[in-house]
Amino acid sequence: MHFEKDQLAFVGQGGSLRVLEHDVVSRKLAMLVEGECEGLGAAKAADKFGYTKQRYYQIRSAFLDKGSEVLTDKPRGPKSNYRRTDELVRQVIRHRFLDPDASAAVIAQKLRQSEMPISTRSVERVIAEYGLQKKTLHLQSSG
User: Mind listing the pLDDT tens digit for each residue in 71-111?
Assistant: 998 877 777 667 788 899 999 999 999 999 999 999 999 99
What's the pLDDT at 139?
67
Per-residue pLDDT tens for 13-48?
999 899 888 899 999 999 999 999 888 999 999 999
Q: Please, which pLDDT band fits residue 125 given cuts at 50, 70 and 90? A: very high
Q: How far, in Å, CA of 93 to CA of 87, rounded?
A: 10
pTM of the model: 0.53
What is the side-by-side order of every strand in the sheet holding 9-12? 2-4, 9-12, 15-18
Write down the pLDDT at residue 82: 72
- What pLDDT does 73 receive? 85
Q: Are 45 and 35 in contact (CB under 8 A)?
A: yes
24-36 vs 53-66: helix axis angle to the nearest 10? 100
Longest dimension (CA), the chain: 82
* Spans of all domains in the chain: 2-71, 86-129
